[in-house]
Amino acid sequence: MLRTEGTYYARTEHGNHQVVADNQGFLVSWPQGSVRYPSARQTIMALVNRTPQPGPHHRDPKITFDRYFRRGSFRRPEPQVFLDTLTLFSPDLTVEKPTLRIKTSPALSIASAPGIDLAKRGHEVRKLFYAGFGRRVIKYGYDPDDVLQEIYKGLLVRNQGKCPFDPTKSSFGHYVHMVCGCIVSNYRRRYSRLSRNEQFGVMTVDGTMEDVSCADIAVEDAEQESVAEASSATNALAEMVQREAWVRDMDPRVAQLCMGLLVQGYRKSEIAEKIGESPNLVARMLRMIREVASPWRQRAHL
């Protein structure tokens, strides 16, 4: 005799079909007729797959007969009844009403009060700001930490104003993103107005903006007037040299060339080579130029 002999019923999700176990196997009562299976494994496969004739492609749950029908150690404990039927109708029976407990999530408890507590959720505001507006703020040329402080300030003002954060109207992320967008726009509008009306520094030769304390205008005087005076004095000397060359029967053109090269710092041999004249002629010209320049220097106070 089989150890599993008896009458069982399949699980509810598998149709609750009657299963009779005897010496010849397992007889399952299907709606279309009873089918006998030689082993418990085939019986369970048919019940799990809900088909009287399971094929090779059907799933094998690979569980024992006792586990499927909850026998032996797999049996579920029976509910214990401490009151019989007569006791239920006793006049001394008192029924206690259960206490209703509502479990709230941490997120709802935090957001129960209107506004945002920056001491607890300030790091969340910082993450949302950098994720949504970090690149834009850096592109504008602003310090992100300075803008973040303005956002903290704006949230604190809104906590005391008419539109604090309300979790019943919007999510935390949507509210913070909206506030960040408003404050970044106001921040840019404010400093764009300053940049249009004020100049922070001076423009260098390279086209870059430089602080006034580091610019050349802070340590160097203007040289336009001194350059103009030196040019005027040099032109006056050139006229005197040409006039003196005519008087001494010398070539005024060569005298002017020699004076220009002498002012630039060239020596006698270099001047002779550049103008293509003999060193003796150049020496006479330089001697004449020095004789003319001596009284000219005294009159020009150079």
Q: How far apart are CA 3 and CA 246, in angstroms?
A: 148
Residues whose CB falls within 8 Å of the CB of residue 30, separated by 6 or more in sequence, listed in order: 17, 52
Whether 163 has a pLDDT exceeding 70, the answer reads yes
Residues whose CB falls within 8 Å of the CB of residue 180, separated by 6 or more in sequence, listed in order: 128, 129, 132, 133, 151
Answer yes or no: is 216 within a domain. Answer: no
Same domain, 185 and 252: no
Answer yes or no: is 100 within a domain. Answer: no
pLDDT for 109 equals: 45
∠ CA 201-207-213, rounded to 5°:
25
With pLDDT > 90 as the criterion, what percentage of the chain qualifies? 15
32-50: burial string, b at 16+ Cβ within 10 Å, e else: eeebebeebebbbbbbbbe
Q: How far apart are CA 262 and CA 285, in angstroms?
A: 11
Same domain, 235 and 176: no
Q: Note down the domain range covering 249.
A: 224-300
Q: How far apart are CA 51 and CA 57, in angstroms?
A: 12
Answer yes or no: is 87 within a domain. Answer: no
Number of domains in the chain: 3
Same domain, 191 and 266: no
pTM higher than 0.85 for the full model?
no
Answer yes or no: is 15 within a domain. Answer: yes
Reading the block at residue 293, the tokens are 């320049």
Whether 31 has a pLDDT exceeding 60, the answer reads yes
Angle between helix 252-263 and helix 224-247 axes, rounded to 10 deg = 150
Same domain, 166 and 230: no
Residues whose CB falls within 8 Å of the CB of residue 139, separated by 6 or more in sequence, listed in order: none
Same domain, 229 and 191: no
Whether 193 has a pLDDT exceeding 80, the answer reads no
Answer yes or no: is 206 within a domain. Answer: no
Domain stops at, among 152, 180, 197 = 197
Answer yes or no: is 244 within a domain. Answer: yes
pLDDT for 23 equals: 87
User: Mean of the pLDDT values across residues 153-159?
Assistant: 91
Residue range 218-253, pLDDT digits in tens: 445 555 555 555 666 677 778 888 888 888 888 888
How far, in Å, are 71, 166, 224, 253, 285 from residue 263 at the CA level?
Answer: 121, 84, 20, 16, 13
Same domain, 118 and 192: yes
232-255: burial string, b at 16+ Cβ within 10 Å, e else: ebeeebbebbbebbeeeebeeebb
Answer yes or no: is 28 within a domain. Answer: yes
Same domain, 115 and 176: yes
- Spatial strand order in the sheet of 6-9: 6-9, 18-22, 25-30, 33-37
Answer yes or no: is 82 within a domain. Answer: no
Same domain, 122 and 184: yes
| Least-confidence region, from 6-10, 99-103, 187-191, 275-279 | 99-103
299 and 232 Cβ atoms separated by less than 8 Å: no
Same domain, 248 and 180: no
Looking at every residue in the chain, the average pLDDT score rounds to 79
Same domain, 189 and 132: yes
Same domain, 228 and 288: yes
Residue range 239-294, pLDDT digits in tens: 888 888 888 888 888 888 888 888 888 888 888 888 888 888 888 888 888 888 77
Residue range 89-144, pLDDT digits in tens: 666 656 565 565 655 555 444 445 678 988 888 899 999 999 989 898 898 888 99
Q: How far apart are CA 210 and CA 216, in angstroms?
A: 10
Same domain, 116 and 53: no
